[in-house]
Amino acid sequence: MTDRASFLAAVASTPRGHDPGLPSRDAAPGAPTELAAGESLLDRFQAEAEAVATIVERVAADDVPGAVAAALRAAGARTAALAADLGDLLEPVRTDCAAAGIVVDDYAAIAGDRARAGALDATVTGCIAAVAATGSIVTTGAGGRAAALIAPTHVCVVRADQVVDGLHALFAGDAIAGAGSMLALQAGPSRSADIEKTLILGVHGPGRVHVVLAV
């Protein structure tokens, strides 16, 4: 059995190759996952998210709970679980969903019961950030590792001030401090092109992703 010390010693005993030096961590030059100078953060986010089949809806902050309930109804969802990362929006969303006739649970309360979580029609989560240049929404273990993709529909509330430029701003910045056991990016519905390169949505994760963007 190889232990830590002998394993690392074996690697360390090898000759050393050429080291060109580590580039600065200040930028990702030429990456298509960064914003161009002067580009609108929210417009780019919406365009990229829509390019990967996300439904994006901009609403005033006060209208978010109603927009979430409407998004669930439009998806035909009868049951939904709400993730704790909705924060202050949790109770208003719960109220509006119940008023719309949707049976709502807390994701945290049912996540331990895989069969029940797997039978949900929809989940609603917040996020800790969104990436303009890729159209990704960023969630964490705090809200639930599987919360974004356990159900056929995922509704995500994004605040305009949570949108960052690109991958560099996300990974080098402090927006993701305290991510917990998982930092998770998702851009649009689950997809596969394994069978003869035919694009199919909703393979394992949701087939419908609806972003409610609070401006």
Site residues for other proteins, 87-116, by CB under 8 A, read: 107-108, 111-112, 114-115
Instruction: State in Å, rounded, how far the first CA of the chain is from the last one.
Output: 57
How far, in Å, CA of 105 to CA of 129, rounded? 24
The CB density around residue 193, as the number of other CB atoms within 10 Å, is 10
Among 61, 99, 182, 215, binds other proteins (CB under 8 A): 182
Please check whether residue 100 is in contact with residue 71, taking contact to mean a CB–CB distance below 8 angstroms. no
Nearer to other proteins, 46 or 186 (CB): 186
Nearer to other proteins, 27 or 99 (CB): 27
Q: Which of 172, 93, 185 shows the shortest CA–CA distance to 140? A: 185
Residue 12 found at the interface with other proteins (CB under 8 A) = yes
CA dihedral 117, 119, 124, 127 (to 10 degrees): 50
Place of tokens 């992703």: 209
CB of 112 to other proteins, least distance (A): 7
Nearer to other proteins, 62 or 198 (CB): 198
* DSSP string covering 5-72: HHHHHHHHTSPP-----PPPTT--TT-TTSPPTT--HHHHHHHHHHHTT-EEEEE-GGGHHHHHHHHH
Residue 1 found at the interface with other proteins (CB under 8 A) = yes
Nearer to other proteins, 3 or 62 (CB): 3
CB of 187 to other proteins, least distance (A): 6
> Which 137-166 residues touch other proteins, going by CB under 8 A?
141-150, 166
By CB under 8 A, the count of residues binding other proteins is 85
Please check whether residue 102 is in contact with residue 79, taking contact to mean a CB–CB distance below 8 angstroms. yes
Among 61, 99, 172, 215, binds other proteins (CB under 8 A): 172
The dihedrals phi and psi of 78, each to the nearest 5 degrees, come to -105, -25
Nearer to other proteins, 61 or 200 (CB): 200
> Which 30-59 residues touch other proteins, going by CB under 8 A?
30-34, 48, 52
CB of 77 to other proteins, least distance (A): 17
Among 68, 130, 151, 184, binds other proteins (CB under 8 A): 184
